[in-house]
Amino acid sequence: MSQGPSPSADAAREAALIAMARGMAPDLTGGAVGAPVPVRHPDGSVESWFVPVTRGDRLAGFVRITADLQFHSASSFPAAAQPEAATWLDAARISDTALQSAPGATLTGEPVLSYDRFPARIAWAVPVRDVDGVDVTVYVAGATAWRS
Amino acid sequence: MMARLPAGGGRFTRAVADMAVEFITRTARGTAAAVAHLNGLAVAGVLGHADLEGAVVQPPGTPVHDLNGEVLFHRMRLERGGLPVGYVDVADHPGLGAPLVAMAHGVDWQGLRLVDAAREAAAERYGIRDVDAARLVAYSFPKLAVQLLDGEREVAMLEVGTWEPVPERRDRDAGEPPSDFERWSFLDELAEEDRERRQRSFEETNEALSSLHTQVTGGGGAAALATPYLISPPQWAGFIPSFIFTLSRELHFSTRDTDHHPCYEVRGQETSVWCVGASTQMVLDFYRYGYTQTRIAQQLGLGTVQNPNGLPYSRDGDVVTALETLTGNALTATMLTTPPFSSYTAEIQANRPLISFIPGHSRTVAGYDHVISNQPALNFEGLLVYDPWPPNAGVVTRWENFAVQTYRRAFTAQVTLV
């Protein structure tokens, strides 16, 4: 998979911190700002950056920074429904979720944070070979998984 | 509650006195900055129905403490001709990030009466009479309580208005958010990195606004163009171009914002392709229609949970039909194409949510934030988006930068009046 030129993760994190300092993410105040994860187009180039904000082991929300380092958005999960951070940030956990949704399938590659057809539908794309030997992508968003 | 100086002289007393002077100076500076900010908002005409012209801020106001004992802000009454106009919260603590914390219109703020009412409630309801001090505390910022003290010891903390005892502090798991009725310290729970950013932002804003205030009021001297605490857009108008204005609103129970808290809920889409169904559900829930997402999906022709499908582009207009049909035409819906930011602000000002289509996805809009400045880099148009994605969860996006998103359609829904 080709990796297009992309700004550094540090620059994306800095952009997120500046946006937060300007009050653009008030619901994420007090959370720990994690390492940015690139959101990749299907061709591997960077569409945007997903900057996670956690509280303990929960994902409080995330800041999206565009590929050219503009603030895109800041989103928070409802307080009572914050997912485990690992369901969004741990590759092994994400792979497990994908495999559980496709019994008999095997992994054919690493999960890539991407989207299901449109960038607004952010999800991890997990390449698997299904029980019939067909290579497919399973998308994983938190605890939910579905086949392309 | 005023700071007390200990009896006696010496270095310690001088140190405490210096602290008191510094505290008073900081409050006065913050008040000046807040007055400048309010005048800026008034000049920009972004306060909507809240007409503040001729209103006067009444310092020093009532101190409101953090749960850790530090003063967070002072709530100051706004008056016009001696009559109540509202109140303004002026930050004391730089951890709040800006001198002007909040402003409410149409409220008769009388902090001392609240404290007295708390004392009465404590005596009548709970038999608590041995109280030698009482103070307002943001027990769950910005929610207020009155803390009743016997010396340094708390004997009760009663929520303002309900006068229910605020439960004792409990140990929460790491990352667990506070519940709806729970005491927690705003300052102690700020992450160090966030606290530092807020302090820098506070100092910068305070410096800029208090300088502006001095420029306009002449520091209160004979050269004053305006009196120090007056909201007077005509007198401030010539000085405002170097200022930043912010207008923000989110949906409430009604257009009277001070009556109720924000009033809107996110609904996660129940399949990976039911974003339109979930968005329609959010709008219908706002108007108290309790449809399941499955029922709405049926109306929109989106299949079933087991065999779902999305809404094709060619059938965007079905959203209008669904909103009207499912409400028996109590709602009149309209589809807008590539709507400008003003379409969203107009609907939110009227207290109506919108459905927003962007390429490949649907969400709802329940608020906006608009920063206007003569420094283009500081301008910002943001939407408060209730997004049904990710499936079975959903997120609240506060804020989405209007300048970097593509907006395809919006759907408004207005209650049909007779």
pLDDT tens digits, B119-157: 999 999 999 988 999 999 998 877 789 999 998 899 999
At residue B216 the predicted structure's pLDDT band, cuts being 50, 70 and 90, is: confident
Burial annotation A58-82 (CB, 10 A radius, 16+ → b, else e): bbbbbbbbbbebebbbbbbbbbeeb
Report how many domains make up chain A.
2
According to CATH, where is 3.90.70.10 located in chain B? Answer: 247-415
Please name the helix (run of DSSP H) or strand (run of DSSP E) that holds residue B309, with its range, or none: none
Mean pLDDT over B37-53 rounds to: 68
Model pLDDT for residues A50-82, shown as the tens digit of each residue: 999 999 999 999 999 999 888 999 999 988 889
Burial class (CB in 10 A: 0-12, 13-18, 19+), B316: middle
Q: Which long-range contacts (CB under 8 A, 24 or more apart) does B234-240 make?
A: B236/B36, B236/B39, B236/B40, B236/B42, B236/B43, B237/B43, B239/B212, B239/B215, B240/B39, B240/B40, B240/B43, B240/B44
Q: Which of B351, B314, B354, B315 is nearest to B334 (CA)?
A: B354
Cross-chain residue pair A77–B395, CB shorter than 8 Å: yes
Same domain, A14 and A76: yes
At residue B196 the predicted structure's pLDDT band, cuts being 50, 70 and 90, is: confident
Candidate from A31, A75, A139 with C-beta closest to B396 = A75
Contacts of B358 in chain A (CB under 8 A): 118, 120
Same domain, A40 and A72: yes
What pLDDT is stored for residue B413 in this prediction? Answer: 97
What pLDDT is stored for residue B21 in this prediction? Answer: 53
Task: Flag the least confident range among A91-95, B84-88, B155-159, B236-240.
Answer: B236-240
Burial class (CB in 10 A: 0-12, 13-18, 19+), B363: buried
What pLDDT is stored for residue A63 in this prediction? Answer: 96
Backbone region of residue B38 per phi and psi (left: phi > 0; alpha: psi in -120 to 50; beta: other values) = alpha
Model pLDDT for residues B160-170, shown as the tens digit of each residue: 877 889 999 88
Cross-chain residue pair B177–A55, CB shorter than 8 Å: yes
DSSP string computed for B350-379 = TT--EEEEETTEEEEEEEEEEEEESSGGG-
Q: Which of B352, B375, B374, B354 is nearest to B363 (CA)?
A: B354
At residue A24 the predicted structure's pLDDT band, cuts being 50, 70 and 90, is: confident
Which residues of chain B from 371 to 410 reach within 8 Å of chain A, CB to CB? 380, 382, 385, 387, 389-401, 403-405
Which residues of chain B from 150 to 189 reach within 8 Å of chain A, CB to CB? 173-177, 189
Q: Is the pLDDT of residue A13 over 70?
A: yes
Interatomic CA distance for residues A90 and A84, integer angstroms: 10
Domain for residue A119, yes or no? yes
Same domain, A78 and A97: no
Domain for residue A116, yes or no? yes
At residue A104 the predicted structure's pLDDT band, cuts being 50, 70 and 90, is: very high
Nearest CA in chain B to A32: B191
Is residue B389 within 8 A of residue B361, CB to CB? The reply is yes
Interatomic CA distance for residues B388 and B311, integer angstroms: 15
Residue A36 to residues A95, A121, A128, B272, Cα–Cα distance (Å): 19, 18, 25, 25
Contacts of A31 in chain B (CB under 8 A): 191
Nearest CA in chain A to B400: A73
Same domain, A25 and A63: yes
Same domain, A19 and A75: yes
Contacts of B201 in chain A (CB under 8 A): 21-22
What pLDDT is stored for residue B71 in this prediction? Answer: 94
Q: Which of A84, A113, A132 is the last residue of a domain?
A: A84
Q: In which residue are the tokens 């400008």 written?
A: B340
Beta strands B56-65 and B133-140, pairing class: parallel
Task: Flag the least confident range among B43-47, B122-126, B269-273.
Answer: B43-47
Cross-chain residue pair B401–A56, CB shorter than 8 Å: no
What pLDDT is stored for residue B398 in this prediction? Answer: 85
Cross-chain residue pair B391–A144, CB shorter than 8 Å: yes
Residue B310: how many other CB atoms lie within 10 Å: 20
What pLDDT is stored for residue B236 in this prediction? Answer: 81
B239-B205-B69 Cα angle (round to 5): 135
Same domain, A113 and A77: no
Strand partners, A37: A50
Task: Flag the least confident range among B114-118, B150-154, B186-190, B216-220.
Answer: B216-220
pTM across the whole model: 0.58
Is residue B36 within 8 A of residue B98, CB to CB? The reply is no
Nearest CA in chain B to A120: B361
Name which residue leads in pLDDT, B257 or A58: A58
Mean pLDDT over B394-415 rounds to: 90
Same domain, A16 and A51: yes
Q: Is the pLDDT of residue B23 over 60?
A: no
Contact with chain A for residue B201, Cβ under 8 A: yes
Q: Is the pLDDT of residue A2 over 80?
A: no
Q: Which of A39, A72, A101, A45 is nearest to B272 (CA)?
A: A101
Domain for residue A2, yes or no? no
Q: Is the pLDDT of residue A40 over 60?
A: yes
Q: Which of A84, A100, A124 is the last residue of a domain?
A: A84
What are phi and psi for residue B413, nearest 5 degrees?
-140, 125
Cross-chain residue pair B194–A122, CB shorter than 8 Å: no
Query: Please, which residues have CB within 8 angstroms of residue A18's CB and are 6 or more apart in sequence?
Result: A71
What pLDDT is stored for residue B259 in this prediction? Answer: 66
Domain for residue A36, yes or no? yes
Model pLDDT for residues B283-341, shown as the tens digit of each residue: 999 999 999 999 999 999 999 999 999 999 899 999 999 999 999 999 999 999 989 99
Q: Is the pLDDT of residue B349 over 60?
A: yes
Contacts of B401 in chain A (CB under 8 A): 24, 70-73
Task: Flag the least confident range among A29-43, A59-73, B186-200, B346-360.
Answer: B186-200
Q: Which of B138, B143, B205, B262 is nearest to A21 (CA)?
A: B205
Three-state DSSP class for residue A22: coil
Q: Which of A32, A51, A84 is the last residue of a domain?
A: A84
Interatomic CA distance for residues B410 and B354, integer angstroms: 6
Contacts of B174 in chain A (CB under 8 A): 55-57
Model pLDDT for residues B100-124, shown as the tens digit of each residue: 877 776 678 889 998 999 999 999 9
Is residue B145 within 8 A of residue B175, CB to CB? The reply is no
Cross-chain residue pair B401–A72, CB shorter than 8 Å: yes
Model pLDDT for residues B49-95, shown as the tens digit of each residue: 457 888 999 998 999 999 999 999 999 999 998 898 888 888 899 98
Task: Flag the least confident range among B172-176, B193-197, B411-415.
Answer: B172-176
Cross-chain residue pair B175–A55, CB shorter than 8 Å: yes
Contacts of B173 in chain A (CB under 8 A): 56
Mean pLDDT over A97-107 rounds to: 96
A1-15, B231-245, B250-264, B346-360: range with highest mean pLDDT: B346-360
Q: Which of B77, B26, B61, B35 is nearest to B226 (CA)?
A: B35
Same domain, A104 and A65: no
Q: Is the pLDDT of residue A3 over 70?
A: no
- Domain residues for the domain of A108 are 90-147
B247-415 to CATH, choices 3.90.1150.10, 3.40.630.30, 3.40.50.620, 3.90.70.10: 3.90.70.10
Same domain, A18 and A79: yes
- Complex ipTM over 0.85: no
- Interface residue of A20, A113, A144 to substitute, partner B, most B CBs within 10 Å: A144
Length of chain A: 148
What pLDDT is stored for residue A52 in this prediction? Answer: 97
